[in-house]
């Protein structure tokens, strides 16, 4: 191989082009910047409730983990969530109070899931979900029931311009 070939690589080698990212095709190891902090995409869950689909990305930062919710329902809906400890007993109530805010049940259902990255072990499972909102629809509380375990997250809606995506190679 010539010196130029060694320096610039073999022209016969082709690298896959990086696909431009959007909220629906983030990949494991992509970087998402939110609120002046970089987060690495370490997990993804695809939800499907009888054809209605949405996505949740696990974002790992230096000091915290966030969840980015992505849904197309007439328009793009994005939310940022963090897990909280809130003991919930079945049956799931119609309203829940947390840190002085009352949240009201808005919708619920069951979804089949496909996981990737840290969430790959969820593939093929069914999750029961419950979405709650406060009076102003500014804060959200999300419950997910996985078997006997109930996970609770609190969050709020964000706009797409608040996020910057850097695709991994």
Cα distances (angstroms) measured from residue 59 to each of 26, 43, 81, 100, 118:
11, 7, 10, 27, 11
Contacts of 5 by beta carbon, 8 Å cutoff, 6+ apart: 11
Write down the pLDDT at residue 6.
52
The reported pTM is: 0.88
Main-chain phi, psi angles of 16, to 5 degrees: -70, 135
Tell me the pLDDT tens digit for each residue of 44-65. Answer: 999 999 999 999 999 999 999 9
Instruction: Collect the ranges in the chain with pLDDT lower than 70.
Output: 1-16
Write down the pLDDT at residue 51.
96
Find the distance separating the first CA and the last CA of the chain, reported in whole Å. 26
The token pair at 139 is 């804060």
Write down the pLDDT at residue 77.
96
Write down the pLDDT at residue 4.
47
Cα distances (angstroms) measured from residue 90 to each of 72, 93, 128, 131, 162:
30, 8, 12, 15, 36
Q: Which helix (H) or strand (E) holds 156?
A: strand 149-158
């Amino acid at each position: 191989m010539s010196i130029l070939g060694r320096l610039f690589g073999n022209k016969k080698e082709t690298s896959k082009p990086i696909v431009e990212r959007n909220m629906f095709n983030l990949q494991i190891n992509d970087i998402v910047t939110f609120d002046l902090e970089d987060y690495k995409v370490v997990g993804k869950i695809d939800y499907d409730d009888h054809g209605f689909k949405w996505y949740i990305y696990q974002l790992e930062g230096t000091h915290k983990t966030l969840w980015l919710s992505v849904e197309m329902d007439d328009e793009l809906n994005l939310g940022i969530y963090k897990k909280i400890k809130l003991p919930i007993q079945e049956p799931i109530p119609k309203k829940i109070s947390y840190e002085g805010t009352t949240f009201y049940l808005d919708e619920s259902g069951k979804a089949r899931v496909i996981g990737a990255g840290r969430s790959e072990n969820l593939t093929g499972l069914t999750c029961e979900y419950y979405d709650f909102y406060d009076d102003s629809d500014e804060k959200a509380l999300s419950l997910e029931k996985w078997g006997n375990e109930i996970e609770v997250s609190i969050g709020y809606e964000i706009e797409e311009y608040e996020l910057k995506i850097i695709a991994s190679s």
